[in-house]
């Protein structure tokens, strides 16, 4: 089964997040709490990985998230428990870039890989 077939359900959205990390300990503490809240809104962290910019000496973490629909994502963002973590998040993260899409492409299908 391909990525698009498995996840191309009506309404399914994917979120790509780039986080500029300034305090790794605070970030880990924040993320461990945020992931629990996210899961209660049917959100899923598909992948997370770190990168480092040699030019600016910045540490980034990138997340690929999945939610069943935009309403679930909005509910996660509006969750009061997440809002209560605002100070911790501010200490941990300098900036955030977010891309949301419901348009999944499956280029592997072109070469017969699922």
Q: What is the per-residue pLDDT for 114?
A: 61
pLDDT of residue 10: 56
Average pLDDT over residues 20-42: 98
User: Which pLDDT score, from 0 to 100, does residue 56 have?
Assistant: 87
| Residue range 39-49: mean pLDDT, rounded | 98
User: Other C-beta atoms within 10 Å of 35: how many?
Assistant: 16
Task: Give tens-digit pLDDT for 60-79.
Answer: 999 999 999 999 999 999 99
Vertex 27, ends 82 and 51: CA angle to 5°? 125
Look at 48 and 103; give whichever has higher pLDDT: 48
Ordered structural domains, the chain, with CATH: 3-100 (3.30.70.100)
Q: Where residue 108 falls among pLDDT bands split at 50, 70, 90?
A: confident
The b/e string for 65-94 (b: 16+ C-beta within 10 A; e otherwise) is bbbbeeebbeebeebeebeebeebbeebbe
What Rg do the C-alpha atoms of the chain give, in angstroms? 16
For the cut 50, the answer to whether the pLDDT of residue 2 exceeds it is: no
pLDDT, averaged across the chain: 90
Confidence of residue 1 (pLDDT cuts 50, 70, 90): very low
């Amino acid at each position: 089964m391909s990525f698009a077939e498995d996840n191309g359900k009506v309404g399914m959205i994917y979120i790509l997040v780039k986080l500029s990390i300034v305090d790794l300990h605070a970030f880990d503490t924040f993320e461990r709490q945020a992931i629990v809240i996210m899961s209660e809104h049917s959100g899923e962290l598909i992948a997370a990985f770190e990168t480092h910019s040699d030019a600016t000496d910045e540490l980034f973490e990138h997340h690929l998230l999945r939610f069943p629909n935009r309403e679930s994502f909005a509910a996660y963002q509006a969750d009061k428990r997440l809002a209560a973590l605002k100070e911790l998040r501010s200490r941990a993260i300098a900036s955030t870039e977010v891309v949301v899409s419901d348009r999944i492409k499956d280029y592997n299908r072109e070469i017969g890989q699922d």
